[in-house]
Structure 1
């Protein structure tokens, strides 16, 4: 079991995963969750912190606290994406993002798509230094990726467990997807909803998918990437029908992928080189340099006549 948890991976994979995760954190602040800053406009008595927020305890968020977390976290995430000071910056990003999520989820709604990302942020500082393209293997980096993978799969499996806990089989036979389509469905979802019993079949399929998700750890390695591709296709269908993206979860799920093979900087250089074309070769003779030896002198002897022999010199 220990060998499986710490299975060594290339350091380049850890570096690529680290850069992707920290860049997403920066993007999350300004694209996906900028609304967290508006929590300061909500009366403080509506703040109901999560259990961890009550145990620490954490202060009721105000404008100064949320603003400080936003700007320091944004700068720290961008710096951490470079791979510098992985422990110092890594723990800083984790602590601040954890507080950012507590503020976000302490007003009545808790999203479960950020569990894998939070585990990744907690594990990455333990991976140590890693450079892009480095093929040497690291067990510490392997552990960081493995616990992130486990968190990703737990998100699926525990979601199925929650469905059974609160809805039982009625979740699969009810109108869950129908209500979601009414609330936030797309034109594609409207077409699917017109097919008789298809939504019920889809609900049973979702339960089966979530319950069987741990099998990704036992399938042969050559098939694992294809299985993860199926996971991504499931979320693509979710976005296309009921506009739920699960973006943080999708970023954490890249822990399953050989990210060291994707090198955008190197790819950009190759594309620029191809556009520039091959080097131009000129037809001009090479100019002689002072170090070149002198060319041999050509004799001034006339060419012999084929009949009479050599021509006279006078």
Structure 2
């Protein structure tokens, strides 16, 4: 148990938490206007079609109305952008989580439930527990380590439980079925059409998908270098998925960054350095006035 506790709370730099927090809250804002703007259409959907998820029923959440849906949209958009600055991390963090949670209840209570948002929701739930974190701060934080670790666990569970669901409901026949073929017929791209023409390739792909999802927990046993390769494979898997059947898993991709050393990505620092070098070059080319 002691080792498990040490693993769950292994310190990470505060700068990593700050970078992850900024990325996640900016993604929430982008999600509202790019990936899930269709949720706003539920403002005018008849209330009879609203069948809340179990958690919505347990919390007695209200039936969506135009005021509720549009109010959440604009409030969440503004607060997510504010939270991305790192100010009032607990107050803004908890508020963003609560509003986005309700946004997802509204989105998924009309017959369609996506499983690509588990990691993102967990990240939003745990980030407020860390408190203040500044970009570039190298000091370690166990609270931040725990927040990133449970997000990573949620990411891996998304893969592993997806395989479990396939085998539970489809059995071993799932890997030899026509699941990918049907997906290509419904929403395939030209690349998918080329792949579909190769004999038995889709069946091999289904074997590969289940094997990958079942093996996903192995990432926790890899050294840092190999873990980065595993993360790159995760991303490449989703790139291929989008390129063939146009499913993006964008929220999941944002949560996967919890595995990365984001503190090393310093766009503002690079921008300042570039500007300084540019100014220096310009001054170096200035000719003295005679």
Match of 1:254 in 2: 257
1:23 equivalent in alignment to 2:61: no
Which of 165, 178, 182 is the aligned partner of 1:179?
Answer: 182
> Which has more helix, going by share of residues?
2
Count of residue pairs the alignment pairs up = 285
Distance across 2 between alignment mates of 1:187 and 1:274: 45
1:52 equivalent in alignment to 2:37: no
Q: Relative to structure 2, which stretch is displaced further, 270-279 or 79-88?
A: 270-279
Cα deviation for residue 282 of structure 1 reads: 6.0
Q: Relative to structure 2, which stretch is displaced further, 111-120 or 265-274?
A: 265-274
Residue by residue over 1:125-152, the C-alpha shift from the partner in whole angstroms, topping out at 9 and shown as x without a partner, is 0011000000001000000000000000
Q: Which has the larger radius of gyration?
A: 1
Unaligned runs of 5+ in 1: 286-314
Q: TM-score, normalised by structure 1?
A: 0.89
Cα deviation for residue 283 of structure 1 reads: 6.2
Match of 1:236 in 2: 239
Q: TM-score, normalised by structure 2?
A: 0.96
Match of 1:84 in 2: 87
Match of 1:117 in 2: 120
Match of 1:310 in 2: none
The within-5 A match list for 1:206-245 is 206-245=209-248
Distance across 2 between alignment mates of 1:39 and 1:217: 40
Partner SS, residue 63 of structure 2: coil
Match of 1:190 in 2: 193
Cα deviation for residue 214 of structure 1 reads: 0.1
8 Å contact 2:43–2:70 — kept in the other structure? no
Distance across 1 between alignment mates of 2:44 and 2:178: 36
1:268 equivalent in alignment to 2:242: no
Detail structure 1 runs of 4+ shifted over 4 Å in the superposition.
Answer: 281-285
Cα deviation for residue 220 of structure 1 reads: 1.7
Residue by residue over 1:238-277, the C-alpha shift from the partner in whole angstroms, topping out at 9 and shown as x without a partner, is 0111110000000000000000000111111222233334
Match of 2:107 in 1: 104
